[in-house]
Amino acid sequence: MKKILVSDKLAADGIKYLKEQTGIEVHIQTGLDGDGLCRIIGDYDALLIRSDTQVTPAVLHSAVNLKLIGRAGIGVDNVDIPLATELGIIVMNTPDANATTTAELAIAHLMSLSRHLPAADRSVRAGKWERSKLMGTEVAHKTLGIVGFGTIGRIVSQRGVGLKMEVIAYDPFVAPEIFTELGVESVSLDDLVSRADYITLHCPLIEKTRHIIGGKQLALMKKETMVINCARGGLIDETALYEALKNGQIAGAALDVYENEPPAGSPLLALDNIVFTPHLGASTIEAQVAVSVEIARQAVTFLKTGEAVNALNLPRLSADELKKSYEFMKLATILGKVLVGLTLQPLHKIEVATFGRAAEVAVRPISIAALVGVLSEHVSTPVNRVNAENLAKRQGIKLVESVTQESRDYISLIKVTGFCADQTISLSGALLGGRQPRLVCINHFDIEVVPEGTLLVTRHDDRPGVISAISAVLGNAQINICRMQVSIADDQQEAMAVISVSEPVNAAILQQLNDLAPVHKVTQINL
């Protein structure tokens, strides 16, 4: 008999599902403090929580039989995931269960902005009748721009199409066929912000997306444009948004999330052309039921079959498996990160091939590790070797594997090739001494690189003075060059350099490097 402890309030439908399962014993004890949870957790195989329960190191060390922590919802800040992983405990959440609710809130804000509903309500309550002042616009035949085309963005697109809107979307990490299937035009970010009448954000908050809507993007928008953010605070530069709204640069905005929550003292609160809600994205009865039922189903599936749906970590590997594959998996993850850093378009296929001693261990953990590297900075869900393959499928990426016992110049070699619409990038990596990862080939350039820190990858003319010009730009910017490797293609008048620098370069310095006449392209990769 498997025992499940529910320590936070779950919807009745979720509890009912658990109690209907054979071989499952359910105990509900909410409101436990840390000591109380520590005293009883050792008896349970699974712990189901929301946001109130704090799964601390003390709780985890007391959980001698625990195999699963299930979070009904998305956020897992209240769980010590690294320690849970070390102890072999699966942590899972329900990232898509509230997708419809969040998408519908974005559409609600869209309609509210188009018809001035909050202002109209305030006007009538004040005894006014301002019909002409509150003239609205129809959304039909307007352009809806979606930034981020994951699960929620795709639901929003379907709602937009249903409203007879023209839907365009920006997501450089989604394969073209995904857009085509949903009847959505894939565009660049600049194209989206300049064309859209309504812009709604549905991407994760990572370093690359912080302030994805800033002063530059707001300046490109039409005066009629309205911006909606029901995703993550920090995606919009709120200072720039304030100036754009105050000066009439754009027509309006609606925010459900903020850089600081609650947004006490924000100058945005003084403006009339913006609407606020208090982070209501998942706050519907249906969503609360959905996350409860979904985490109940996932927990039962795991306890009965071992399948870890929406797992955020991995069970502990055996010492023997870890010894055989760990270094190869680390190398594959690095190759995946470098690959996605070099691609200019969405990937639709990744091939992973192992040679020599790398082929003596199972290829699947290695190929999944490569996917982790490719996906880790591009999706909102934490990526690991449990969920990487499913996430790749959702992004339209096909995985192909091959194994060859013969070695290619190196005792052990891993080759990762990424295929885009009109670009193919192939990377090879090796382990020196069985432990030291090296990037040894990029396409037809043989180049031995220590893959760590910040790398600048250049493609440039093979002629004197290019490297000194690049070095001069970095030197003038007080950027120290730690290492540099240069490779020349055998049959082309082209060279490649991989430069390890002391710190990331800013956009202005990167542009200076790309503006050098002999330089074709400079790409920055942070490992």
| Structure-block tokens of residue 304 | 């009965």
Q: For 240, how many CA atoms within 13 A lie in the half-sphere containing its CB?
A: 16
Q: Are 241 and 268 in contact (CB under 8 A)?
A: yes
Q: Are 282 and 102 in contact (CB under 8 A)?
A: yes
Q: For 285, how many CA atoms within 13 A lie in the half-sphere containing its CB?
A: 2
How far is residue 382 CA from its own chain's centroid? 7
How far is residue 167 CA from its own chain's centroid? 22
The residues that are catalytic are 232, 261, 279
d(Cα 402, Cα 186) in Å, to the nearest integer?
32
Write the DSSP assignment of 412-472 as a string of letters: EEEEEEEE-SS-EEEEEEEEETTTEEEEEEETTEEEEE---SEEEEEEEESSTTHHHHHHH
d(Cα 84, Cα 316) in Å, to the nearest integer?
9
Following CA atoms 157, 163, 164, 166 in sequence, which dihedral angle do they give, to the nearest 10 degrees?
-30
**Cα–Cα distances in angstroms (integers) from residue 192 to residues 126, 170, 400, in the given order:** 39, 7, 33
